[in-house]
Structure 1
Amino acid sequence: MKTTIAATAALLLTACSGGLKVIESDLQHHHWNLTAINGVAVDPEIKSDLEVAEHFSINGMAGCNRFFGSATLEQGRLKAAPLASTKMACDPITQQVETAVLHTLSEGATVNNKGQQLELVGEKYTLTYQLADWM
């Protein structure tokens, strides 16, 4: 019990003193699956995802196209510009997902990391991701 309390206290102190470092380490080396846009569930068959790797290189599936690039995290905002992507044609529903993902990442979004859930809150879209696994 004392070990658990000490570990929790250390984590809280680190979070308070580390600022954005905690967010950075929580984002990197994870694989996230998109579950909702603006609170509306995304069809799991679309399989849109996001991976954040070392030095904030990012990649994933926007909708029907893969994307990749570099991101920055400044004052709690994640921004990935410019992004490169493949250029396959999407069906209309998948294209809506793809547009929301690429727009939000390119324009920048406030990061709300809730452990197993990640929200990227942009001006137009809020993307909700579920943690899939460690990379």
Structure 2
Amino acid sequence: MKTVKAITLILSSVILGACTAETQIIPQEVKIEQLQHNWKLTHVDNIQLATVINSTLTIDPQNKSTGNLGCNNFIGKAEFSDNQLRITDMANTRKMCDELKNGVEMDVTSVLSDWSNVMVDQDSLIIGNNKHSLTYQLLKTVN
């Protein structure tokens, strides 16, 4: 009977350990074509955005980038290298924004204007640097 209890305890430990072990994420190569879509920002730093925030990112086949930072519109050129993205020559409107939208704008601008890591998973795009992570949802393909 002690043997059965010992075996049960050992198997339980192994099974529970396997369930709680962290899954290693293996980075996959991203191609610029995977980014050339219309995207809607859904999360900043894994926190879901309020519905009043309508931040978007569009990258067309010529790598022209347009969208909304949270309150102000922007335009620029996407550069992509070694699974990293940045928007150069970024110009944006200068509307007065409320505190919530302004905070989102600052985070989005800091990520997009500097080289940031990119991951694409079917219908989501994650762009992040050592300060912030932006999660976008695919809206539609750009032609």
TM-score under structure 2 normalisation?
Answer: 0.76
Shift of residue 108, structure 1, vs aligned partner: 2.0
Question: Which residue number in structure 2 is paired with residue 10 of structure 1?
Answer: none
**1:98 matched to 2:105:** yes
Q: Which has the higher helix share?
A: 1
**Rounded Cα–Cα distance in structure 2 between residues aligned with 1:113 and 1:130:** 10
For residue 26 of structure 1, the aligned residue among 34, 44, 48 is: 34
What does residue range 55-134 of structure 1 map to in structure 2 within 5 Å? Answer: 55-134=62-141
Look up the equivalent residue of 2:127 and give its one-letter code. L
Q: Secondary structure at the match of 1:127?
A: strand
Shift of residue 35, structure 1, vs aligned partner: 0.3
Aligned residues: 115
Structure whose alpha-carbon radius of gyration is higher: 2
Following TM superposition, where does structure 1 have runs of at least 4 consecutive aligned residues deviating by more than 3 angstroms?
none
Look up the equivalent residue of 2:75 and give its one-letter code. F
What does residue range 30-45 of structure 1 map to in structure 2 within 5 Å? Answer: 30-45=37-52
Look up the equivalent residue of 1:26 and give its one-letter code. Q
Q: Secondary structure at the match of 1:103?
A: helix
Unaligned runs of 5+ in 1: 1-15
Identity %: 30
Unaligned runs of 5+ in 2: 1-27
Shift of residue 134, structure 1, vs aligned partner: 1.5
TM-score under structure 1 normalisation?
Answer: 0.81
**Rounded Cα–Cα distance in structure 1 between residues aligned with 2:52 and 2:115:** 26
Query: C-alpha deviations, 1:34-72, integer Å up to 9, x for none?
Result: 000000011122110000012211010001100110011
Contact 2:41 2:55 in 1 (8 A): yes
**Rounded Cα–Cα distance in structure 2 between residues aligned with 1:119 and 1:110:** 8
Q: Secondary structure at the match of 1:100?
A: helix
